[in-house]
């Protein structure tokens, strides 16, 4: 293994927390169990990395092997990257054909290399029918830079693909084309959904249209809504209306944990309607606004906001749309009395 | 539009009822708990509401309200607007000593969203005292609770020789 | 037009905790109570006397984030001794560095202090001229003589107006607003030197939502350039288990059109007009989201002209033309809300 490759292993190992290095190396499988035994995983991190570096130097192997270690790390730490959801569009007549993974890999590699030139591609299949693809882009000078990495997660039984490109987005069109060709689709489009939590994106995208959003391994959220009336001398005049609001919100938000979304943007292109008492603006053109909500866990915070006095019940259709069909962008236009909500495709 | 009347129900022996109206439920509950913890010689009932008018389904069960405290948080304009809208649902005769305004959040001047002059104007227009307290501090919370209990006693007629109106007059002239 | 008259009001504490440590603080503001809050700018008022304005004087102010402080009057400060003050401050910084106080990397190198006067920046003839303090890195002996890099700037300015200057006791200089740009460690060193030398007090000036709304209205009303950036209001809802931030941005032209219909007299702004303007924006938002923005906390206001954050940070816009309009009004507002 040449020095550059071993250095890249070092860089990858540095990212992994110390207590997980051994498990990931075992999953990687490049170093045998005997070899792993020779390393003291109790010492400080840079010494562990140094020992592994020495071991790897003696092993034949190329840059491709390191890619697999990187996929293992990224799979465990997917939340460190931003993922965007895309949908592959197929013609209606296409029957469900048995998915041939070898055919997929071959077509993907061939098309991508044709479009972009030299790239390194790793594939790894994970348990939930997800195919992880790691792509190392080349620079204009021809060399692959191990730090220009993109990831694709494709669930072969679905038309959905999740792409994480970090900063090097100029290769996105070529990547999309390669995916279209490899899957025998006729087009790909963005679902306008992005976030750090890959599992949440999957939950949002895979749910059927009628059900509430549920995560696959979750339990119903404990019901904290009923407060015991401890002191009879304290009377809550609004108790029944609050309970009614809570029930209505529960129907919208559901009982299960909500998927993690970090921000949403609404482009408002509606008319400004003033209070008749105030002698203000009358304009024929829309009042152009852009509203952004951001939070570490947006849907949960909207849910708790909806339980406060700051929000009038019933919940507005704009927020309901966010909860039921989570997206990052919405465009709102005027439609006679009501508003039309469309998910803008960017 | 139902309007709150001060004397449309009969009083109950040795008891008094307070109504807290305000948009911040957490603060209301804290103040109410502080009041309930105080030692008192009469039966007390505290009603919490976000705004007026009150839901009509509780009308027949509700006892006579002896004192209404409107809570305004200077940190949010919404609390002021909420109180202003609720005032329209109170009969004029209530303002003869049975209403007071409680203003919170004044300790943090940098969070101020409401002009103090509009609150003073409210107190003037409605001839009712304006009290200030910082409910986050236990000492002031307890002091305010005691003060309100005393006012409640007077408004419920438990203190011989002092009527709500007299007390109101004394309070306002001391400012 | 009516000229703003700030005056002193003594406010007493009544046991509640205050954010400022001083007891019985002075408050500079509009007379409370009966006034409707009408305030305006007379044609000769405002911070900058335009005829003498030097573009260089202005340039250093733009495109920087300034942290705001209020300063009590300085005792026995004289603009004739600025060079001497610079030497003393320089020695003080060197001494502090030796004591290991400053931790910033830049403080390892030699710091040169320059204190100068900006005669063009003042509210009225009676006001003190602004005083600028700049800390720059002295070039290393080994390097060739290169331009000194300014690492920190701070300036005092005065916008008291006639009344206050007359009432100021002798020996006191009134420079109530201090703006600092650069590392916090430098700000505290310079601040503590001034506090020791001139027996004054620096207080971090936060900007309340009330004042932020005022600024939003004022700056929205300024003349727009081509492609002016949107007027943005940022709200925070911290009381939730997961914090939520709401950014509400309105196209600059549409915001200005709304403000123009609200403002009755050009050059004058009343509190009622600001309230109506904000209410319109809040109710437009409410129509769509059913959320009462007035129940949340306004933390930041940003326009093409300038932006301000509730932590007392302001940033002035790019254009010199805007600067003149924004800055004078902005500091006037500070004098209003200053505590």
Domains of chain B, residue spans: 64-141+150-175
Q: Which residue of C has its CA nearest to B117?
A: C33
Q: What is the mean pLDDT of chain A?
A: 81
Q: What is the DSSP letter of A264?
A: E
* C16 vs B76, B79, B137: nearest CB: B137
Please name the CATH architecture into which domain A247-342 falls: Roll (3.10)
CB within 8 Å: C287 and A278: no
Q: Which residue of C has its CA nearest to A338?
A: C288
Q: What does the pLDDT read at residue C109?
A: 57
Q: What does the pLDDT read at residue A31?
A: 80
CB within 8 Å: A234 and B23: no
* Residues in B touching C35 (Cβ below 8 Å): 117
A312 Cβ under 8 Å from any chain B Cβ: no
Q: Which residue of B has its CA nearest to C293?
A: B78
CB within 8 Å: C294 and B115: no
CA distance A268 to chain B (A): 24
ipTM: 0.86
CB within 8 Å: C310 and B110: yes
Q: What does the pLDDT read at residue C6?
A: 31
Res A241 pLDDT > 80: yes
More confident residue, C283 or B110: C283
Pairing of strands C231-237, C297-302: antiparallel
Helix (H, G, I), strand (E, B) or coil at A88: strand
CA distance A306 to chain B (A): 14
Percentage of chain B lying above the pLDDT 70 cut: 97
Q: What does the pLDDT read at residue C248?
A: 97
Q: What does the pLDDT read at residue C73?
A: 86
Res A119 pLDDT > 80: yes
Radius of gyration (C-alpha) of chain B in whole angstroms: 15
Percentage of chain A lying above the pLDDT 70 cut: 84
Kindly report the three-state secondary structure assignment for every residue of chain C. CCECCCEEEECCCCCCCCCCCCCCCEEEECCCCCCCCCEECCCCCCCECHHHCCHHHHHCCCCCEEEEEEECCEECCCHHHHHHHHHHHHHHHHHHHHCCCCCCHHHHCCEEEEEEEECCECCCCCCCCEEEEEEEECCCCCCCCCCCEEEEEEEEECCCCHHHHHHCCCCEECCCEEEEEECHHHHHHHHHHHHHHHCCCEEECCCCHHHHHHHHHHHHCCCCCCCCCCEEEEEEECCCCCCEEEEEEECHHHHHHHHHHHCCCCCEECHHHHHHHHHHHHHHHHHHHCECHHHCEEEEEECCCEEEECCCEEEECCCHHHHHHHHHHHHHHHHHHCC
Q: Which fold has domain A83-206?
A: 3.60.90
The model's confidence at residue A211, banded by pLDDT at 50, 70 and 90, is very low
* Residues in B touching A275 (Cβ below 8 Å): none
pTM of the model: 0.80
Pick from A227, A232, A238 the residue to mutate for testing the B interface (most B CBs within 10 Å).
A238
CB pairs under 8 A between A and B: 39
* Residues in B touching A238 (Cβ below 8 Å): 48-50, 55
Q: What does the pLDDT read at residue C246?
A: 96
Q: What does the pLDDT read at residue A292?
A: 96
Q: What does the pLDDT read at residue C318?
A: 62
CB within 8 Å: B45 and A235: yes
For residues B140, B141, B144, B145, the Cα torsion angle rounded to the nearest 10 degrees is -150
CB within 8 Å: A291 and C250: no
Pick from C229, C254, C273, C294 the residue to mutate for testing the A interface (most A CBs within 10 Å).
C254
Name the residue among C269, C322, C332, C312 with its Cα closest to residue C122.
Answer: C332
Which ranges of chain C have pLDDT less than 50? 1-53, 106-107, 322, 324-326, 336-339
Tokens of A63: 């840059």
For B48-58, the pLDDT digits (tens) are 999 988 888 87
CB within 8 Å: B77 and C294: yes
C258, A240 Cβ separation under 8 angstroms: no
* Residues in A touching B72 (Cβ below 8 Å): none
CB pairs under 8 A between A and C: 115
**CATH 3.40.50.300 given to domain B64-141+150-175:** yes
Give domain limits for chain A.
Answer: 3-76, 83-206, 247-342
A302 Cβ under 8 Å from any chain C Cβ: yes
Q: What does the pLDDT read at residue B22?
A: 93
More confident residue, B95 or C324: B95
Q: What does the pLDDT read at residue C298?
A: 95
Q: Which residue of A has its CA nearest to C277?
A: A280
Phi and psi for A63 in degrees, rounded to 5? -65, -25
Q: What is the mean predicted confidence (pLDDT) over A49-69?
A: 78
CA distance A201 to chain C (A): 19
* Residues in A touching B28 (Cβ below 8 Å): none
CA distance C316 to chain B (A): 21
The model's confidence at residue A99, banded by pLDDT at 50, 70 and 90, is confident
- Residues A81 and C26: their CA atoms lie apart, in Å, by 52
Q: What does the pLDDT read at residue C4?
A: 31
**Per-residue buried b or exposed e for A231-253, using 16+ beta carbons within 10 Å of the residue's own CB:** eebbbbbbeeebeebeeebeebb
What is the distance in angstroms between the CA of the first residue and the CA of the last residue of chain A? 44
Q: What does the pLDDT read at residue A93?
A: 60
- Residues C65 and C182: their CA atoms lie apart, in Å, by 9
When mean pLDDT is compared across A60-64, A267-271, A283-287, B27-31, the lowest value belongs to A60-64
Q: What does the pLDDT read at residue C222?
A: 81
CA distance B144 to chain C (A): 12
The model's confidence at residue B21, banded by pLDDT at 50, 70 and 90, is very high
Radius of gyration (C-alpha) of chain C in whole angstroms: 21
Name the residue among A281, A274, A266 with its Cα closest to residue C254.
Answer: A281
- Residues A268 and A291: their CA atoms lie apart, in Å, by 8
């Amino acid at each position: 293994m040449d020095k550059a490759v071993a250095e890249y292993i070092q860089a990858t190992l540095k990212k992994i927390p110390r207590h997980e290095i051994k498990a990931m190396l075992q999953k990687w499988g490049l170093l045998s169990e005997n070899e792993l035994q020779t390393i003291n995983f109790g010492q400080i991190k840079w010494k562990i990395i140094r020992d592994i570096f020495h071991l790897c130097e003696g092993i034949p192997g190329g840059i491709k092997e390191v890619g697999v270690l990187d996929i293992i790390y990224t799979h465990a730490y997917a939340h460190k990257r931003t993922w965007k959801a895309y949908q592959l569009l197929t013609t209606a007549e296409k029957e469900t054909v048995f998915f041939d993974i070898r055919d997929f890999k071959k077509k993907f590699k061939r098309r991508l290399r044709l479009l972009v030139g030299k790239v390194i591609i790793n594939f790894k299949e994970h348990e939930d029918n997800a195919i992880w693809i790691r792509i190392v882009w080349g620079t204009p000078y021809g060399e692959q830079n191990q730090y220009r990495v993109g990831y694709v997660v494709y669930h072969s039984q679905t038309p959905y693909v999740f792409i994480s490109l970090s900063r090097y987005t100029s290769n996105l069109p070529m990547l999309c084309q390669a995916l279209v060709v490899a899957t025998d689709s006729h087009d790909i489009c963005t679902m306008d959904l992005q976030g750090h939590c890959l599992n949440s994106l999957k939950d949002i995208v895979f749910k059927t249209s009628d059900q509430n959003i549920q995560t696959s391994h979750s339990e119903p959220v404990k019901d904290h809504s009923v407060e015991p009336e401890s002191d009879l001398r304290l009377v809550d005049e609004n108790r029944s209306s609050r309970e009614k609001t809570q029930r209505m919100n529960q129907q919208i938000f559901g009982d299960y944990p909500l998927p993690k979304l970090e921000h949403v943007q609404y482009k408002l292109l509606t008319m400004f309607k003033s209070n008749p008492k105030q002698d203000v603006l009358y304009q024929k053109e829309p009042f152009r606004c852009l509203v952004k909500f951001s939070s570490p866990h947006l849907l949960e915070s909207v849910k708790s906001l909806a339980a406060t006095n700051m929000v009038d019940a019933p919940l507005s259709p704009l927020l309901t749309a966010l909860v039921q069909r989570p997206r990052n962008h919405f465009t709102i236009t005027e439609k006679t009395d009501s508003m039309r909500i469309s998910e803008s495709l960017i | 539009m139902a309007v709150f009347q001060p004397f449309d129900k009969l009083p109950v022996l040795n008891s008094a009822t307070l109504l807290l109206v305000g948009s911040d439920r957490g603060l209301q509950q804290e103040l109410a708990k502080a009041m309930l913890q105080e030692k008192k010689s009469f039966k007390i009932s505290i009603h919490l509401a976000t705004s007026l008018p009150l839901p009509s389904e509780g009308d027949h069960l509700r006892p006579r309200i002896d004192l209404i405290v409107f809570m305004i948080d200077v940190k949010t304009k919404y609390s002021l607007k909420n109180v202003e809208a609720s005032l329209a649902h109170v009969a004029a005769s209530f303002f003869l000593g049975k209403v007071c305004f409680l203003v919170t959040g004044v300790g943090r001047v940098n969070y101020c969203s409401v002009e103090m002059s509009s609150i003073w104007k409210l107190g003037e227009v409605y001839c009712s005292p304006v009290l200030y307290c910082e409910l986050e501090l236990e000492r002031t919370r307890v002091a305010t609770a005691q003060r309100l209990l005393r006012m409640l006693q007077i408004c419920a007629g438990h203190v011989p020789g002092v009527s709500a109106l007299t007390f109101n007059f004394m309070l306002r002239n001391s400012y | 037009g009516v000229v703003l008259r700030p005056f002193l009001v003594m406010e007493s504490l009544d046991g509640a905790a205050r954010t400022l440590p001083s007891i019985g603080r002075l408050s500079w503001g509009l007379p409370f109570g009966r006034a409707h809050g009408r305030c305006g700018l007379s044609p000769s008022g405002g911070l900058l006397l335009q005829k003498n304005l030097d573009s260089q004087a202005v340039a250093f102010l733009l495109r920087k984030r300034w942290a705001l402080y209020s300063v009590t009057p300085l005792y026995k400060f004289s603009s004739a001794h600025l060079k001497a003050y610079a030497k003393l401050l320089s020695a003080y910084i060197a001494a502090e560095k030796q004591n290991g106080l400053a931790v910033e990397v830049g403080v390892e190198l030699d710091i040169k202090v320059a204190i100068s006067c900006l005669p063009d920046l003042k509210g009225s003839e009676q006001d003190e001229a602004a005083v600028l303090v700049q800390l720059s890195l002295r070039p290393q002996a080994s390097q060739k003589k290169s331009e000194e890099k300014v690492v920190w700037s701070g300036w005092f300015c005065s916008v008291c107006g006639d009344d206050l200057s007359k009432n100021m006791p002798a020996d006191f200089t009134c420079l109530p607003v201090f703006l600092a740009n650069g590392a916090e460690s430098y700000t505290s060193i310079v601040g503590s030197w001034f506090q020791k030398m001139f027996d004054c007090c620096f207080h971090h000036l936060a900007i309340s939502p009330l004042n932020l709304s005022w600024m939003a209205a004022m700056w929205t009303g300024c003349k727009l350039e081509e492609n002016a950036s949107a007027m943005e209001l940022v709200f925070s809802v911290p009381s939730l288990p997961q914090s939520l931030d709401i950014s509400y941005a309105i196209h600059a032209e549409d915001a200005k059109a709304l403000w123009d219909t609200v403002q009755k007299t050009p050059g004058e702004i009343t509190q009622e007009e600001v309230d109506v303007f904000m209410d319109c924006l809040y109710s437009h938002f409410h129509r769509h989201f059913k959320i009462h923005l007035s129940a949340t906390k306004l933390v930041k206001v940003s326009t093409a002209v300038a932006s301000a954050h509730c932590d007392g940070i302001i940033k002035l816009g790019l254009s010199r033309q805007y600067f003149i309009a924004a800055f004078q009004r902005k500091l006037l507002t500070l004098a209003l809300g200053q505590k």
